[in-house]
Structure 1
Amino acid sequence: MSATQNKVICVKTVGMDSRKQAVFRMAFKMHTMQRYELAEDAIGMKPDLAIVDMDCVDGNLLWENHGSENPDLPTLIVSMISLPDAPVPVLVKPVRIETLFPLLRQVLSERTTPGRQNPPQSPPQSPPLQVVQNAQPELASQPVPSSVNAPSSQPAMQKMPEQVGRFDPTRGLLGTLQEILQAKRPSMVMIANQNSLIVFPEQERVMVLQDLTQLKNACENEGVIITTRALQKEDKPDNRNIVVSNFVGLLWQVAIWTSRGRLPDGIPVHAPVKLKYWPNLTRMAPIPNALRMAAFLVRSPSSLPVAVRMLNVPPANLFDFLSAAYSIGLLDVIESRREAAETPPVEPVLVKDEAKGGMLSRLLRRIVGL
């Protein structure tokens, strides 16, 4: 089973109290593209994966018991420290949405199981420094070589790429959803002649009939044929096999899949852009640095090079964020400077010195002849 199949994914927690479970329960409610539920809330369901908290008391013993009782259950470890020798992926606390769900999908797709292995060990601690009492004074006064200085923690400065990739937001699955939104007509979206989405634009609701991986592939492959038709009475899917999602959230996700670090054609590079209002990021697919970019662009307009320099974020993250915001009508491109940004500069016409000299000479000759 893959992490994107349209079913409820039951998650078993090991070594967590009610407060820790509440963190994951809230994260699962925010994720609308795939339904996750804790085993405590999904009574009677067989767990699809497990999350083991190694920071609890007797964490190693719990891991051994979990591995012996569930050797074939895909498992994710959460811990406050990195565990390089762990047999399964490790999510380092604090738990963040942008890292949690990609790891859950990885665990389910790769089927990383604990088996009957030893518990992961914490990295060895550095030995304490020993003070040598009989050290020679001249050695203590020698300067420390620059090669042993601590490495700088300052992140590398991000820069705008010389060539910015572009895509047409009116084509593909993203363009199809935009047309349905403008027409405000319930529609069936078919990808490669297969029923994939039932869209109710006025209710801002969508039923996902296919695997989310197929939707992502349709966004990445421009050759996929996407068609629509009016919704019919016989289009009544089995509610147990579909995912009901928010239409705005789906547009946001499809824009990210389509962008892939590129800009839509409607956003000039040097024109100032601004968010019209604060987005509800808790209901949207995560983008790295989305919170910082939203806080920066909601206050005042900024061009893309300035935003990259001020925020020091990878341009691909900024382009994905702008593409998603643009797709749901959240982005405002300042029109007063848009034409100036899109129109190439006109070279001024210079008057040659020879022409000036010739005219002055003629005037002088006329004055002398008076």
Structure 2
Amino acid sequence: MDNLLPKIKTVRVMLQGMGEQQDAVFRMAFKMHHTTHYEIITRESAEQPDLVLVDTDSEAGLASWRELKAAYPGVPVAMFAGKTPSETSPYLAKPIKFDTLFPVLRSLSQGGHIFEVSENTESAGEAPDSRAPRKTTIRRFSPRRGLLGALKAASHGHQDIAVLHEGRPVLIVFPSIQRVLLTVSAAELERLSKDDHLAVVSKIVPDNPIWKEKAKVTIMSCLWQMAIWTAQGRLVYPMTPQTVFTLKRWPNLTRLAPVPESMRLSAFLTKTSVNLNVLYKVMPLEMPDILNYLAATSVTGFLATDDEYAAAQAKAENATADSMNVSSDVPDDQMAKEAQKAVSPSAEQPRSLLQRLMRKLLGKR
């Protein structure tokens, strides 16, 4: 499904006023991040930055921030500081926290993560506590409906199946060779995948070697991509925030459509079991990214869930709750402690790979 995979986005970042260590940290972090390509540019570059980060812990840094804000009026110019800003501004707090760096950078590049100065804000105060409980409301979707449901059902059969919408074929599934022939454009396939009430018809087709030869997309990559398009930041039914899940094995992410933070989620979920509330607590990622990842891994069979989920799956047609609340304010029970241990430095796991590489780069032990 290479022609359908969204291209990795490039975000051009300008760093100003950084010391050698800070500059090295950003360069190493950007080098190891694969879902978005972060490119560092300079003021001398002819390219327009998508994001400017300015170290504002000095008066010179503040002056540089004001200058760059005027020089790039249509670009987010963010303060990178150890103290909360004295002016309303996009804001990245020091020190860099690798578990939240890229979600914050993504928000900054999209014009978000603004620190609002109010009368109650102390300019010399500490940065807001990123560990404060977060709450959000999520919606669910059924993977058995629409185009995704038809593809999933056809992939489990033994006959070649054409999936039609309004009398026209959208895709033809060949289970024997684990391939799919797409008969519409990627944009059209995405549009149809997002329609929960799409009327589709599955029809057996005769063996056709020419069609099979033209089928270049694997069923796995097609299911993965269509699950992301269908989910649209929703939780796959019948999972709930209390459903315990883990990964059976690591997906081959180099051959599948990118999901933000999929590398981190895969590494974490292959070594621990959590529910959505606990995951939201220990890995403060963007909820839509988490839910799209869960949809993709669930539909493709990589995600393993507990017995409660399996029982609920048998009653999928009796869905009642379409939306529910997720909160990171969960008790420190055994599951939460084990999950926190998996993402925190410890005697057994002193530092993450990125942290260890950075300490070597900076000449530390």
**TM-score per shorter chain, which class?**
0.5 to 0.7
The one-letter amino acid of 1:98's match is T
CA gap of 1:300–1:189, structure 2 versus 1, over 3 A, is same
Q: After superposition, what is the alpha-carbon deviation per residue over 1:79-121, rounded to whole angstroms, capped at 9, x for unaligned?
A: 6648xxxxxxxxxx75965346xxxxxxxxxxxxxxxxx9447
Could you tell me how far 1:230 is from its partner in structure 2?
A: 1.1
C-alpha distance in 1, partners of 2:84/2:53? 27
Query: Identity of aligned pairs, percent?
Result: 23
Answer whether contact 1:188 1:198 (CA < 8 A) is retained: yes
Partners of 2:35 and 2:261 within 8 A in 1 = no
Once the two structures are TM-superposed, the CA of residue 182 in structure 1 deviates from its matched residue by 1.8
2:158 counterpart letter in structure 1? K
Q: What residue is the counterpart of 2:137 in the other structure? A: 163
Distance in 2 of aligned mates of 1:312 and 1:319: 13
Q: What does residue 233 of structure 2 align with?
A: 261
Aligned partner of 1:328 in structure 2 is: 300
- Structure 1 residues 332-347: aligned runs within 5 Å: 332-335=304-307
1:219-298 matches, within 5 Å, as 219-232=193-206, 236=210, 244-298=216-270
Query: Structure 1 residues 32, 160: closer, same or farther in 2, change over 3 A?
Result: farther
Establish whether residue 308 from structure 1 lines up as the match of residue 280 from structure 2. yes
1:109-124 correspondence to structure 2 within 5 Å? 119-120=46-47
How many angstroms apart in 2 are the aligned matches of 1:329 and 1:238?
Answer: 24
Alignment check: 8 A CA contact 2:166 2:200 kept: yes
Q: Tell me the equivalent position of 1:133.
A: none
2:344 is matched with none
SS of corresponding position for 1:321: helix
TM-score of the superposed pair, with normalisation by structure 2: 0.53
Is 1:183 equivalent to 2:124 in the alignment? Answer: no
Unmatched tracts of structure 2, length 5 or more: 16-29, 38-44, 61-82, 101-129, 316-365
Q: Distance in 2 between matches of 1:279 and 1:264?
A: 18
Task: Map 1:1-370 onto structure 2 (within 5 A).
Answer: 32-34=2-4, 81=14, 94=31, 98-99=35-36, 119-120=46-47, 148=86, 152-153=93-94, 156-157=130-131, 161-232=135-206, 236=210, 244-335=216-307
Q: 1 or 2, which has the higher strand percentage? A: 2
Distance 1:198 1:121, change over 3 A: closer
* Residue matched to 2:22: none
- The structural deviation recorded for 1:184 is 2.7
Cα pair distance change 1:187/1:235, threshold 3 Å: farther
Q: 2:147 and 2:10 mapped to 1: Cα distance?
A: 36
Give me the CA root mean square deviation.
4.2
CA contact (8 A) 1:199 1:207 kept: yes
**Structure 1: how far apart are the matches of 2:305 and 2:10?**
43
Does the CA-based 8 Å contact 2:234-2:292 persist in structure 1? yes
Would the aligned equivalents of 1:160 and 1:305 in 2 still touch at CA under 8 Å?
no
**Could you tell me which residue of structure 2 aligns to residue 355 of structure 1?**
none
Q: Could you say what secondary structure the match of 2:181 adopts?
A: strand
3-state SS in 1 of match to 2:281: helix
How many residues are treated as equivalent by the alignment? Answer: 232
Letter in 1 for 2:300: I
Counterparts of 2:135 and 2:48 in 1: how far apart (Å)? 42
SS in 1 for 2:172: strand
Q: Residue type matched to 2:180 in 1?
A: V
Deviates more, 1:218-227 or 1:326-335: 218-227
Shift in Å at residue 158 of structure 1? 8.2
Amino acid at match of 2:243: A
1:213–1:332 distance in 2 versus 1, CA, 3 Å: same
Shift in Å at residue 77 of structure 1? 8.3
Deviation at 1:151, TM superposition (A): 6.2
**Cα distance change on mapping 1:273 and 1:124 into 2, 3 Å:** closer
Question: Tell me, which stretches of 5 or more residues in structure 1 are unaligned?
Answer: 1-30, 37-75, 83-92, 101-117, 131-144, 343-370
CA contact (8 A) 2:223 2:299 kept: yes
Larger radius of gyration: 1
Give the Å deviation of 1:336.
6.3
| Counterpart-to-counterpart distance in 2, 1:265 and 1:146 | 41
Displacement, 1:232? 2.7
- Kept in 1: contact 2:143–2:237 (CA 8 A): yes
- Deviating more after overlay: 221-230 vs 154-163: 154-163
Q: CA, structure 1 residues 238+184, in 2 after alignment: closer, same or farther (shift >3 Å)?
A: closer
**CA shift for structure 1 position 339:** 6.6
CA contact 1:158–1:313 (8 Å) conserved in 2: no
